[in-house]
Chain A
């Protein structure tokens, strides 16, 4: 079970004059700090898929980065199966598989080397890595290009390889930051199928997205973040009931706090 409670994170603003008009009007800007995330809470049970929604710049990526231990929260706590991520980041790093739409690969290495490198960083043995790669290439259909250099991959091939890389160590939680943004329909479908397969295995998934269709199709729970605060945090049924028949309207209603 993942439990995020009252998470907050602020960034120092180097030069307030350089900020854009929109950023200056943001209520989260106070003095020399920009309070990117102010109060975010959410829970996700085992086997559940949680969709994180919110406008651009709402604090979704910052929240997920704190969850993945890349950033350290100023206050609040994150617990994975009762272990505090903030206090024991190493435990969380072993438990989490992380992937974002912007995640790249090392272009001069082959797909297999890319995946194996992260297996090694997770302390896996060569044998375990090889077995896992064989297994993943079966599921994701990587055979045809696995031993070619990533520079020559298509977007879909890259995304499949990145997925394999993120789950090489059998994570107990998978975090995806806008995994389908910028992908074509085929590549996006690969990601959605992957989320579904994790769901079937009972691995919890937290992912941020702008595509409400994905939420309706996959998610068990929905959390909406606006201006760094979680304004909605409940099941997908409750979310749909905010405006029956239209997910878009439901989303807008949740932002308006209705």
Chain B
């Protein structure tokens, strides 16, 4: 068995195309994706903050203080609105970024006019920061007006707070940083790792089964005096190792870049989160991955040996990704916990267990059941694969 395994592994390592997909891509792709998304989203937010907004104010004379504040702050450019223009239509034609409609009875004495209702017309399709930028100008005025009114009514500062919010709700979240982030990251990790294990095994699998048929080496291999199940096991192990290697490299790459980003940008939460996960949990996550990889490898090898050509094999493997994605996506959905029915759905339960492990809230006894059931499925599939390899109908199709 080891002879077959070593030889197959040697071939995989020498295949530049496979190596590219297995190592280089996850190593470089993730930083590029993560960095790219971070760069462009921060750039968009920055642009929205600093771009010059064209605006017009209806009834500016009613609120001279606010009008002056906007006019004098940087990044605002006043535009004269035509007399007969309909505000909605005018804003829609992109002549201005926003129109602020001040009511005629605007007053800075809240005791006289109750609440002032200002209307902000803007085109909300697309990313912008108009409201938040206006609020930073309006708030100081509103605060001052509020304080003056309270002062005239002889309300103390404590009473002011109580008047503004008679009943306040203070949140005390007992979940630590790890559980919080784990809920978000955990599902993602399982998703990425599963898909990569499958993807990483795919190209070698297509080569090891259908590739041998296509090249005409399979027949010679089958009639050599080595047990069929040893051939299957050797090939199976190669695919499994390829899948695990791909997943490991990716996860390590993600972790390293996560730490770098965390340290570099000094994001407290990420550092705390990564620091809280101990080696034991990481080892358990890896341990849970073994039967899953075995399931994938057995499936891939079965499909591959059935196919006549490399191309046909890849055709069969494409839909397999869809079958794997569904149970894993289920595990990332909020509200689906590792209990009841979900603890018995194959793949979903492993994904959920991985999430729990990352969150640090795993019931370790449950892990035994999940590992056991997944291992049984993997064993059955491997058995099927050996059976498949003994069928003339499959081998000489």
Give A95's nearest chain B residue, CB to CB.
Answer: B225
Determine if A121 and B224 form an interchain contact, defined as CB atoms under 8 angstroms apart: yes
Shortest C-beta distance, A12 to chain B (Å), equals 7
Q: Is the CB of A109 within 8 A of B219?
A: no
Q: Are B3 and A120 closer than 8 Å at their CB atoms?
A: yes
A98 to B14, CA, bound (A): 27
Cross-chain contact A71 with B217 (CB below 8 angstroms) = no
CB pair A122 B393 closer than 8 Å? no
A-B contact pairs, 28 of them (CB 8 A): A65-B396, A68-B223, A70-B219, A70-B222, A93-B223, A93-B225, A98-B219, A100-B216, A100-B219, A103-B216, A103-B220, A104-B215, A104-B217, A105-B217, A108-B10, A108-B11, A108-B15, A113-B7, A113-B10, A117-B3, A118-B220, A118-B224, A120-B7, A121-B221, A121-B224, A122-B224, A165-B220, A166-B220
**Quick one: which of A122-157 are within 8 Å of B by CB?**
122-123, 149
CB distance from A112 to the nearest CB of B (A): 13
Task: Determine if A72 is an interface residue (Cβ-Cβ < 8 Å).
Answer: yes
* Residues of the B chain whose Cβ atoms lie less than 8 Å from the Cβ of A72: 392
**Other CB < 8 Å A-B pairs besides A12-B393, A106-B217, 20 of them?**
A68-B219, A70-B222, A70-B395, A90-B225, A98-B219, A98-B220, A99-B220, A100-B216, A100-B219, A103-B216, A103-B217, A103-B220, A105-B217, A106-B7, A106-B11, A108-B10, A108-B15, A117-B3, A118-B220, A121-B4
Minimum CB distance partner of A14 in chain B = B393
Q: For the complex, is A240 an interface residue (Cβ under 8 Å from B)?
A: no
Q: How far is the CA of A123 from the CA of B225 in the complex (A)?
A: 8
- Contacts A108-B11, A113-B10, A121-B3; is A69 near B215 (CB within 8 Å)? no
Interface size of B by CB at 8 A reads: 22
Pick from B220, B221, B392 the residue with the most CB of A within 10 Å: B220
Min CB distance A229 to B, Å, is 21
Q: Is A102 an interface residue (CB 8 A)?
A: yes
Q: How far is the CB of A71 from chain B (nearest CB, A)?
A: 6
The 3 closest A-B pairs by CB, nearest first: A104-B215, A104-B216, A93-B225
Q: Is B192's CB within 8 Å of the partner chain A?
A: no
Least Cβ–Cβ distance between A70 and chain B, in angstroms? 5
Provide the bound-state CA to CA distance between A98 and B224, in Å: 9
CB-CB < 8 A to B393: which residues of A? 11-12
Q: Does A46 contact B (CB under 8 A)?
A: no
Would A96 and B223 be within 8 Å (CB), given that A71-B392, A103-B217, A106-B217 are in contact? yes
Instruction: Give the complex CA separation of A123 and B1 in angstroms.
Output: 12
Q: Contact residues of B with A, CB < 8 Å?
A: 3-4, 7, 10-11, 14-15, 215-217, 219-226, 392-393, 395-396
A120 and B396 CA atoms in complex are apart in Å by 25
Instruction: Let me know if B215 and A109 touch, CB within 8 A.
Output: no
- Known contacts A103-B219, A105-B217, A108-B15; decide if A122 and B225 are in contact (CB<8 Å): yes
Task: Give the residues in chain A near B221, CB-CB below 8 Å.
Answer: 121
Closest to B393 in A: A12
Check B11–A109 contact: CB distance below 8 A: yes
How far, in whole Å, are A120 and B4 apart by their CA atoms in the complex?
9
Complex Cα distance, B15 from A149, in Å, reads 12
- Chain B nearest CB from A159 CB (Å) reads 12
**What is A's interface to B at a CB cutoff of 8 Å?**
11-12, 65, 68-72, 90, 93-94, 96, 98-100, 102-109, 113, 117-118, 120-123, 149, 165-166
Contacts A70-B396, A104-B216 given; indicate if A98 touches B10 (C-beta within 8 A): no
Q: Contacting B224 at CB < 8 Å: which of A65, A93, A100?
A: A93
A98 touches B223 (CB 8 A): yes
- Residues of chain A within 8 A (CB-CB) of B395 are 70
Query: From residue B275, how far is it (CB to closest CB) to chain A in Å?
Result: 43
The reply to whether A117 and B219 contact each other, CB–CB distance below 8 Å, is no
Query: Is B215 a contact of A106 with CB atoms below 8 Å?
Result: yes
Shortest CB distance B384–A (Å) = 20
B14: chain A residues within 8 A (beta carbon): 108-109, 149
B313 to chain A, nearest CB (A): 16
Contact residues in B for A120 (Cβ distance below 8 Å): 3, 7
Q: For A96, what are the chain B residues with a Cβ–Cβ distance below 8 Å? A: 223
Q: Which of A100, A106, A107 has the most CB of B within 10 A?
A: A106
Residues of A within 8 A of B4 (CB): 121
Which residues of A sit under 8 angstroms from B3, Cβ to Cβ? 117, 120-121
Could you tell me the distance between the alpha carbons of A232 and B252 in the complex, rounded to whole angstroms?
68
Cα A72 to Cα B395 with chains together (Å): 12
> Are the C-beta atoms of B10 and A109 separated by less than 8 Å?
yes
For B15, give the chain A residue with the smallest CB separation.
A108
**Closest B residue to A116 using CB positions:** B7
| Residues from chain B with Cβ under 8 Å of A65 in the complex | 219, 396
A109 contacts across to B, CB distance below 8 A = 7, 10-11, 14
> What is the distance, in angstroms, from B238's C-beta to the closest C-beta of chain A?
13
Q: How far is the CA of A71 from the CA of B219 in the complex (A)?
A: 10
Which residues of B sit under 8 angstroms from A90, Cβ to Cβ?
225
Q: Collect the chain A residues with CB atoms within 8 Å of residue B396's CB.
A: 65, 70-71
Distance to closest chain B CB from A50 (angstroms): 19
The reply to whether A121 and B225 form a contact with Cβ atoms under 8 Å apart is: yes
Q: How far in angstroms is the closest Cβ of chain A from B119?
A: 71
Q: Which residues of A contact B222 (CB under 8 A)?
A: 70
Task: Give the shortest distance, in Å, between B40 (CB) and chain A (any CB).
Answer: 40
Which residue from chain B places its CB closest to the CB of A105 in the assembled complex?
B217
- The answer to whether B225 touches A70, judged by C-beta atoms less than 8 angstroms apart, is no
A105 CB to nearest chain B CB (Å): 7
A20 to B395: give the CA distance in the assembly, Å. 22
Contact residues in B for A70 (Cβ distance below 8 Å): 219, 222-223, 395-396
CB-defined contacts of B7 to chain A, threshold 8 Å: 106, 109, 113, 117, 120
